[in-house]
Structure 1
Amino acid sequence: MFKPGPACLLLAMITLGGCVTAQTSDISVASGVQSTVLLKSSSSWDGMSYDAYPAGIPELTVLNIKIPANTALNWHEHPMPNAAYVVSGHLKVETRESGQSILLKPGDVLPEMVNRQHRGVTGNTAVELVVFYAGTAGMPLSSSQPVKE
């Protein structure tokens, strides 16, 4: 029996419902299909508005990312809008410039920052994310700098 993984479920949710915060919409009463919008945002989690999408042929990428416990990711930035869905664990996301942070738990969806350095830090448990990137063909998903702490 086929059991869809987190990336497949996220793609289905995005395809069926677009991407806002816990709204349910009935797609078709006859079919019984319902979708829940998990995120709809024109700004990153810290309130910074997104600019226009990158120019070029669109390329969507969805990653399943597993981060071990007690890990600080490198400071990095993304050149395109993206959103992360927390499958399991707790992740602290912080900005390099201001030190502002947010704590994510399973089921949370985060509109990530564009062209601004940030990182994720795990606690005593591993974290699993599904991250959806809306870029252009050949565009790198992120650029990073080693941790210097």
Structure 2
Amino acid sequence: MVRRIHFVLALTSLLFSCEKMKTKPGSPTSELIAESFLSWNGDSLPAYPEGKPKISIVKVTIPPQSELPKHYHPVINAGVLLKGELTVVDVHGNVLEMKAGDPIIEVVNTIHFGVNKGSEAAEILVFYAGEANKEIVVKETPMK
């Protein structure tokens, strides 16, 4: 309970300071792009790993009219589509249509793939919260 109160106070302070920054012309601003306890398809995110943390930032480029291979991520990850358009499909038939600027909180341990149906390359910047010696992308059957 105390941790939750501290979290709420810290979050309130952060939000207040962000709002304060927005009121001054020419000052830096901060904008929350995405925040969730769920992935894009509604699944709950798992707990963070207990091992040595490893953060990876990867820019993926998908050529026009091409498709990523089916894969899954054993770690929490999120990204922002920088350019183009991307359709993400999971094995349960859920579909996410993305355009430049859209965020994604990716599914974990669920097979999915992306398709670029557009006429320009799609670029997505993805942040992975993994652990040392653990893959961030796997091209095989997931645990669930």
Task: State whether structure 2 residue 116 is matched by structure 1 residue 122.
Answer: yes
Following superposition, the deviation at residue 27 of structure 1 comes to 6.6
Q: Which residue of 1 aligns with 2:50?
A: 55
29-38 or 77-86: which moved more?
29-38
Counterpart for residue 70 of structure 1: 65
Runs (4 or more) in structure 1 with deviation over 6 Å come to none
2:101 corresponds in structure 1 to: 107
Shift of 1:102: 1.0
SS in 2 for 1:75: coil
1:133 aligns with 2:123: no
Using the TM superposition, give the Cα deviation of residue 25 of structure 1 relative to its aligned residue in structure 2, in angstroms. 2.2
Letter in 2 for 1:25: C
String of CA shifts for 1:11-32, please: whole Å, max 9, x gaps: xxxxxxx9xxxxx924757893
Gaps of 5+ in 1: 1-17, 19-23
Letter of the structure 1 residue corresponding to residue 53 of structure 2: P
Q: Which amino acid aligns with 1:77?
A: Y
For 2:82, the equivalent position in structure 1 comes to 87
| TM-score, with length taken from structure 2 | 0.77
- The Cα RMSD (Å) is 2.1
Q: Provide the C-alpha distance between the structure 2 equivalents of 1:104 and 1:52, rounded to a whole number of angstroms.
A: 26
CA distance in 1, matches of 2:108, 2:41: 11
* Identity of matched residues, %: 33
Contact 1:73 1:119 in 2 (8 A): yes
Q: 1:11 — aligned with what? A: none
Distance 2:128 2:82 in 1: 17
Higher strand share: 1
Larger Rg belongs to? 2
Structure holding more helix per residue: 2
Asked whether the 8 Å contact 1:93–1:101 carries over to 2, the reply is yes
Is 1:38–2:30 an aligned residue pair? no
Equivalent runs, 1:19-38 vs 2, <5 Å: 25-26=18-19, 32-38=27-33
Aligned length: 122
> Post-superposition shift, 1:92?
0.2
